[in-house]
């Protein structure tokens, strides 16, 4: 994910199909994830001393997390007292984790939401988060459990 962010900074866009481990927090792993690649990457790209100048000019990162489960670990990293990381988590309200962490923007959706309603909420939420945060960089976590017959996704 760090390499992907460096490539995105250089080329304008990049993709990493293995990332999105959004449940791990600073104290340890959770929800099948042992580290939080999104938080690590946000920290790396906003700290020019840490990244050795490979990424410059990034002060604010917005994570847009669309996994069906809340990105609780990433939200907790956003609570560490700096304004470098903001999170928008759009997730199924009744899914893991419970209790929920507090993201910068949380949108808990009902079970079995229809595509049209989801897309409207997504568009409005992303526009609002982009306007309020004014990020220099966006990390997008698509999630892996969006299939409508996925029993873990509801």
Q: What confidence tens digit (pLDDT) does each residue in 20-43 have? A: 788 778 878 888 888 889 999 999
Asked if 4 and 19 touch (Cβ cutoff 8 Å), the reply is yes
**Model pLDDT for residues 65-105, shown as the tens digit of each residue:** 998 888 888 888 876 667 889 999 999 999 888 899 889 99
Nearest CA to 93 among 106, 77, 79? 106
Q: How far apart are CA 150 and CA 137, in angstroms?
A: 31
Secondary structure letter of residue 25 according to DSSP = B
Strands 85-92 and 61-65: parallel
Sheet holding 105-109, edge to edge: 105-109, 85-92, 61-65, 137-141
């Amino acid at each position: 994910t760090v390499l992907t962010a460096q490539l995105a900074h250089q080329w304008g866009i990049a993709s990493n199909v293995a990332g999105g481990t959004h449940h791990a927090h600073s104290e340890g792993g959770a929800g099948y994830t042992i580290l939080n690649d999104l938080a690590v990457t946000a920290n790396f790209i906003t700290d020019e001393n840490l990244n050795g100048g490979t990424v410059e000019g990034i002060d604010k990162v917005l994570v847009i997390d669309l996994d069906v489960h809340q990105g609780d670990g990433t939200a907790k990293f956003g609570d560490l007292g700096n304004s470098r990381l903001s999170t928008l988590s759009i997730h199924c309200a009744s899914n893991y984790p419970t209790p929920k962490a507090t993201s910068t923007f949380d949108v808990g959706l009902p079970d079995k939401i229809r595509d049209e309603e989801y897309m409207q909420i997504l568009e409005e939420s992303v526009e609002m988060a982009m306007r309020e945060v004014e990020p220099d960089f966006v990390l997008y976590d698509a999630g892996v459990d969006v299939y409508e017959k996925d029993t873990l996704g509801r």
